[in-house]
Structure 1
Amino acid sequence: MTIAEYCIFGSVVLYLLTIAPIKWLGFRDYDNSKPRDPAFYHDAIRSRALGAHQNGVEAFPFFAVAVLLAEFRAAPQNLINELAILFLIVRIAYVLTYIGNRPSLRSILWSVGFIINVAIFFLPLIRGSLRI
């Protein structure tokens, strides 16, 4: 497996770890028979953690497809790996800024992450012009 493929797995782990501690820390209020009960998420931090989690779920498919497409189309693997690691780092920072209630920085990080995904997606188009 490539580093970028491990980053795909890391992206899944990140969005799961975004919400799991919140549920664990709020075990007294959390009812596993109603995991999507809106009342549990009325607390501001819980609400932001849920938003970060949901955004992670939304961002995952494009990232996974971009990495796999770039690999299947023989884009330079070292660039795919580097961009995938960078994406994961940006996503970690995104989660921290989301939970930490820093909306402007969060939006900037989301945009950077999206641009990284677009770059990975289009790497196969430029593979011939790169001397790597």
Structure 2
Amino acid sequence: MTIAEWCVFGTLLLYLLTIASVKWAAYGRFDNAKPRDPAFYQDPLRARALGAHQNGIEAFPFFAVAVLLAEFRLGPQRLIDELAILFVIVRIAYVFTYLGNRPTLRSILWSLGFAINIAIFFMPAFKGYLPV
């Protein structure tokens, strides 16, 4: 497996851990029989964790497809790997800014992550022009 493919797996784990950690931290107050109970998410931190989790679910498919397409179309693997690592770093920072209630920085990080995905996705189209 390539580094970028491991990053796809890491992105999946990130969005799962974002909500799992909040549920674990609320031991005794989280009812697994009602995992979507709105009352549990009344707490602002839990609500932000749920938002970060849902955004992770939304961001995951495009990232996974972009990586796989770039690899399938023989984009420069080193550059794919580097951008995938950068995406994971940006997503981790995004989760922390979401949990820390920093909406402007969060939006900047989301935009940066989206731009990284666009770069990975279109990399095969421009591979002849890349200095790699």
TM-score by length of 2: 0.98
The AA in structure 2 aligned to 1:50 is L
Structure 2 counterpart of 1:44, which letter?
P
Query: What is the CA–CA distance in structure 2 between the aligned matches of 1:102 and 1:131, rounded to whole Å?
Result: 36
**Runs of 4+ residues over 4 Å off in structure 1:** none
Please give the alpha-carbon distance, in whole angstroms, between the structure 2 residues aligned to 1:130 and 1:98: 34
- Deviation (angstroms), 1:17: 0.9
Structure 2: state its 5+ residue gaps: none
Structure 1 residue 25, shift from structure 2 partner? 1.1
CA distance in 1, matches of 2:68, 2:89: 19
- What is the alpha-carbon distance in structure 2 between the residues aligned to residue 76 and residue 92 of structure 1? 25
- Alignment coverage as a number of residue pairs: 132
Which AA in structure 2 matches 1:62? F
User: Structure 2: how far apart are the matches of 1:131 and 1:117?
Assistant: 19
Give the distance between the partners of 1:34 and 1:21, measured in 2 at CA: 17
Summarize the alignment of residues 27-46 of structure 1 with structure 2, pairs less than 5 Å apart: 27-46=27-46
The answer for unaligned runs of 5 or more in structure 1 is: none
Q: Which amino acid aligns with 1:79?
A: L
Partner residue in 2 for 1:5: 5
Percent of aligned pairs sharing the same letter: 72
Tell me, yes or no, if structure 1 residue 63 matches structure 2 residue 63.
yes
SS at match of 1:67: helix
Residue 80 of structure 2 aligns with an amino acid whose one-letter code is I
CA distance in 2 between partners of 1:100 and 1:7 (Å): 24
CA positional deviation for 1:114:
0.2
The one-letter amino acid paired with 1:74 is L
SS of structure 1 residue aligned to 2:61: helix
* Distance (whole Å) between structure 2 residues aligned to residue 75 and residue 24 of structure 1: 40
Shift in Å, 1:130 = 2.1
**How large is the RMSD of aligned CA atoms in angstroms?**
0.6
1:84 corresponds in structure 2 to 84
SS at match of 1:35: coil
In the TM superposition, what is the alpha-carbon distance from 1:131 to its structure 2 partner?
A: 3.7
Give CA-to-partner distance per residue, 1:65-117, whole Å, 9 cap, x none. Answer: 00000000000000100000000000000000000000000000000000000
